Amino acid sequence: MTEADFLARLRTLPLHPGAGGLRDDTAALAGLTLTTDTLVEDVHFLSGDPPRDVAWKLVATNLSDLAAKGALVEGILLNYPLRDPAWDVAFLDGLDDALRTLACPLVGGDTVTLPAGAPRILTVTAIGRDAAAPPRSGARAGDALWVTGTIGDAGAGLAIAQAGHGDPALLARYRRPVPRLAEGRALAPLVHAMMDVSDGLLIDAARMAAASGLAVTVDLAAVPLAPGIADPLAAATAGDDYELLFAAPAALALPFPATRVGTFATGTGLSLTQDNRLIPLPARLGYQHGLR
């Protein structure tokens, strides 16, 4: 069963009105914005990644969903599996760093004990308030597709972590992403739809278009790349960037730099262009759970 199949079945179950049909990354409840995310060892982080960085990434990935809703951070709940005392202590040091740096207090959570050798499964639930951004389903025909920052950094950083050498700035983009909280807050009242880039620019653009009942065209030549990254297609399918992807008029005066990478139109599906010509879609648009 793929992730899409599983979600489709979940949508047949009794849902809270605040779930929004399970078509977004957050839920709304009593004025709060709720989101939860899980990192699995050797799936979302490498077993050799420093535990301090794993703690940072766990918090940051959750706060990125709040950023995409223009929400203020209220706090997090942590579910943590105890397994190795030295690793656990280092994780707590990284958690302390993340919570203080990102102004995100701990509300509570749960602990369990894992047998030796079992993969770590780490979960955070983030709580936000005063969300001001529209859902990912709000894009309009004629809107431009915009993205903050650069794309593909984390994919390059993962390759560096696996190789054991390379640009430390790109490695940091994989291990310590920074949620775009201030940018999300500033964009929230201006845009028609917004989400974060977690699974890859192409697959997330396709998801926004599908949720909005529109077609989207992405111009690979426009995808913003960091120095040292040369392949826009690899970058746009890599994932883990945690930049903000949003739909807004092309003429919108943005409060900070962002790059226009595509256009929404009536219709369905994702199209790719490069040098003003259509190119075939890759077999893999980005990361999808349940696919091997």
Domain-ending residue, one of 109, 129, 149: 129
Six-digit token pair at 101?
A: 């740096």
What percent of the chain has pLDDT above 90?
84
Residues 164 and 68 in one domain: no
Query: Is 99 contained in some domain?
Result: yes
* Residue ranges making up the domain that contains 116: 3-129
One digit per residue, the tens of pLDDT, for the chain of length 292 reads: 787 889 899 999 999 998 888 888 899 999 899 999 999 999 899 999 999 999 999 999 999 999 999 999 999 999 999 999 999 999 999 999 999 999 999 999 999 999 988 999 999 999 999 988 889 999 999 999 999 999 999 999 999 999 999 999 999 999 999 999 999 999 999 999 999 999 999 999 999 999 999 999 999 999 999 998 999 999 999 999 999 999 999 999 999 999 999 999 999 999 999 988 999 999 888 876 544 4
Residues 274 and 148 in one domain: yes
Six-digit token pair at 188?
A: 């929230």
Best CA proximity match to 97, nearest among 133, 62, 55, 49: 55
pLDDT of residue 288: 64
pLDDT of residue 292: 43
State pTM to two decimals: 0.93
For residues 14 and 274, what is the distance between their CA atoms, to the nearest angstrom?
A: 44
DSSP string, 195-222: EE-SS-HHHHHHHHHHHHT-EEEEEGGG
Residues 46 and 151 in one domain: no
Query: Is 291 contained in some domain?
Result: no
The full 3-state SS of 33-73, as one line of letters, equals EEEEEEEEECCCECCCCCHHHHHHHHHHHHHHHHHCCCCEE
Q: Could you report the per-residue pLDDT of 77-100, keeping only the tens digit for each?
A: 999 999 999 999 999 999 999 999
What is the domain-level CATH number for residue 267?
Answer: 3.90.650.10
pLDDT of residue 291: 46
Query: Is 56 contained in some domain?
Result: yes
Matching residue, tokens 């490069």: 274
Residues 95 and 224 in one domain: no
Query: Is 292 contained in some domain?
Result: no
Query: Is 160 contained in some domain?
Result: yes
Residues 110 and 149 in one domain: no
Six-digit token pair at 170?
A: 């790109």
Domain-ending residue, one of 107, 129, 151: 129
Residues 210 and 87 in one domain: no
Name the domain count of the chain.
2
Residues 109 and 215 in one domain: no
Residues 113 and 145 in one domain: no
